[in-house]
């Protein structure tokens, strides 16, 4: 019979020879082995659980969460190459529930008649609404399909809880400069799929500029590389010599997206946050200007301001979070270029306020205790006795209502017994010397 995989050719079934001739450079250079896959050693090194699960064909449902060009789809390719299961790709952009039903029906027949599992790769799974995601759930639970999802959005907010609880979430990071360098060199040296026979020569500054444009995204890097190389004429020596000016000419202002000295996007935002933390409004305004001038998304800057307001100012000035949220709302409402004024006001306010990270530090300590001690039981006197059985078991017994007994505020235990005496929240004025 005809299966969805047989009926709809996709990037998993296209012949390698055709890809080598017709596909863009980023697709041609997609790694086919773990040895060529760079930048995610924390999850793909030989001793890591995910790699072992893929290589031994024991993969369970998994969701890859990471920025564009970090390797989510490439990992799906590697799974397709290593597993004995039938592999079906499914795009949340172009497909819907009717197509899913056809895939599930074929998977059920394949499992029943051939004993073969089906791995379903769902690209951009966050684009499915909650009701559509519900359609996956029973089939994942029954083992009809093993779900492999890919998303650029936080799964905690974009994937329904029942589906999330049945999947392992793997977080991919933006590629480092070192990893991007490997990707670039491989494309320049590969004689079959890349530019190994083209005699392409990059200056060090041009190379750095190209990687800064990629900004952790291997696909963006290779797409930019291909465009620049194709636009560069062959010189009298038969070479394509590419300097910084050639990269600028080929990619325009986008090549200067992060800054003119080649620093990466994350370095600039780090300098901005550290200037705020050190209460230096001048430094903060400069880094803000650098980001705005180079085309940074103002919503990204506003989000970081909101985080900073609670992480670094906290209750030293409770209005900081109010101001930061107002700036974020203004950015959405006003838009550029005028929203720059709102960002500047918020920046100088946050930089000028007193700093206290006690709330954040306290949370980190509490999180560590939660991980270390596991699910400690809630003290009986803090539990609600909503049934007679619970009341008989002692739920709520001995609880002292603070409005009737003010002393209970300090004398009544609110932590599990093993954590008695813990002090997570220590504002600056109360910290030990």
Mean pLDDT of the chain: 85
pLDDT at 421 over 70: yes
pLDDT-based confidence at 251, cuts 50/70/90?
A: confident
Q: Return the sign of the alpha-carbon dihedral for residues 223, 224, 228, 229.
A: negative
pLDDT at 424 over 50: yes
Domains and CATH numbers, the chain: 4-171 (3.40.50.300), 177-256 (1.10.8.60), 265-352 (1.20.272.10), 371-428 (no CATH)
**94-126 tens-digit pLDDT:** 777 788 888 889 999 998 888 888 999 998 888
Q: What is the rounded distance in angstroms from the CA atom of residue 433 to the CA atom of residue 431?
A: 6
Closest CA to 288 of 212, 354, 348: 348
What is the pLDDT at residue 432?
54
DSSP state, residue 384: -
pLDDT at 325 over 70: yes
Joined tokens for residue 394: 């002692």
Q: Is the pTM of the predicted complex or chain greater than 0.85?
A: no
Q: What contacts 90, CB < 8 A, 6 or more positions away?
A: 99, 100, 103, 120, 121, 122, 123
* Section 37-45 average pLDDT: 93
Greater confidence (65 vs 15) lies with: 65
Greater confidence (391 vs 56) lies with: 56
What is the pLDDT at residue 228?
93
Q: What contacts 50, CB < 8 A, 6 or more positions away?
A: 43, 44, 62, 168, 170
What is the pLDDT at residue 380?
81
What is the pLDDT at residue 410?
65
Q: What is the rounded distance in angstroms from the CA atom of residue 361 to the CA atom of residue 428?
A: 11
Q: What's the distance, Cα to Cα, between the start and end of the chain in Å?
A: 76
Q: Per DSSP, which regions of 71-152 are E strands?
A: 86-91, 118-123, 146-151
* Section 40-46 average pLDDT: 92
Closest CA to 228 of 211, 70, 260, 349: 211
Joined tokens for residue 116: 């073969």
Greater confidence (399 vs 208) lies with: 208
Q: Above pLDDT 90, what percent of the chain? A: 42
What is the pLDDT at residue 6?
42
Which has the minimum average pLDDT: 71-85, 145-159, 378-392? 378-392
Concatenating the DSSP letter of every residue in 172-238 gives: PPPPPHHHHHHHHHHHHH-TTTSSTTS-EEE-HHHHHHHHHHHTT-HHHHHHHHHHHHHHSPP-TTS
Q: What is the rounded distance in angstroms from the CA atom of residue 296 to the CA atom of residue 68?
A: 16
Residue 51, CA distances (Å) to 37, 45, 83, 174, 285 in order: 12, 7, 12, 19, 45
């Amino acid at each position: 019979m005809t299966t969805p995989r047989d009926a709809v050719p996709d990037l998993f079934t296209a012949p390698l020879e055709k890809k080598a001739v017709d596909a863009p450079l980023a697709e041609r250079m997609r790694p086919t082995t773990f040895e060529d896959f760079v930048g995610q050693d924390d999850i793909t090194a030989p001793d890591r659980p995910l790699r072992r699960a893929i290589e031994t064909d024991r993969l369970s449902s998994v969701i890859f969460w990471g920025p564009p060009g970090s390797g989510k789809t490439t990992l799906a390719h590697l799974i397709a190459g290593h597993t004995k299961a039938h592999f079906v790709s499914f795009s949340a952009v172009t497909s819907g529930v009717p197509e899913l039903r056809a895939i599930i029906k074929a998977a059920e027949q394949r499992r029943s008649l051939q004993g073969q599992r089906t791995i379903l790769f769902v690209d951009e799974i966050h684009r499915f609404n909650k009701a559509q995601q519900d359609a996956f759930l029973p089939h994942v639970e029954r083992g009809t399909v093993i779900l492999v999802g890919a998303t650029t959005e936080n799964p905690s907010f974009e994937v329904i809880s029942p589906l999330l609880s049945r999947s392992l979430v793997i977080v991919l990071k933006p590629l480092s400069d070192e990893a991007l360098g490997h990707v670039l060199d491989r494309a320049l040296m590969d004689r079959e799929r890349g530019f190994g026979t083209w005699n392409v020569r990059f200056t060090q500054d041009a190379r750095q500029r190209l990687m800064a444009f990629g900004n952790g995204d291997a696909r963006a890097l290779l797409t930019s590389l291909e465009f620049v190389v194709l636009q560069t004429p062959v010189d009298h020596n038969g070479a394509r010599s590419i300097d910084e000016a050639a990269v600028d000419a080929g990619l325009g202002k986008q090549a200067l997206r992060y800054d003119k000295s080649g620093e990466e996007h994350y370095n600039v935002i780090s300098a901005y946050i550290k200037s705020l933390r050190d209460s230096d409004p001048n430094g903060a305004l400069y880094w803000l200007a650098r980001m705005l001038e180079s085309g940074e998304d103002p919503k990204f800057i506003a989000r970081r301001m909101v985080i900073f307001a609670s992480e670094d100012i906290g209750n030293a000035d409770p209005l900081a979070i109010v101001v930061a949220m107002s700036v974020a709302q203004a950015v959405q409402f006003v838009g550029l270029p005028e929203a720059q004024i709102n960002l500047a006001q918020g920046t100088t306010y946050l930089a000028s306020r007193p700093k206290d990270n006690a709330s954040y530090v306290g949370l980190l300590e509490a999180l560590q205790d939660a991980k270390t001690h596991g699910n400690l039981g809630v003290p009986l006197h803090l539990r609600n006795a909503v049934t007679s059985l619970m009341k008989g078991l002692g739920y709520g017994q001995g609880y002292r209502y603070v409005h009737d007994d003010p002393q209970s505020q300090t004398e009544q235990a609110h932590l599990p017994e093993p954590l008695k005496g813990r002090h997570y929240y220590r504002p600056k004025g109360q910290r030990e010397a």
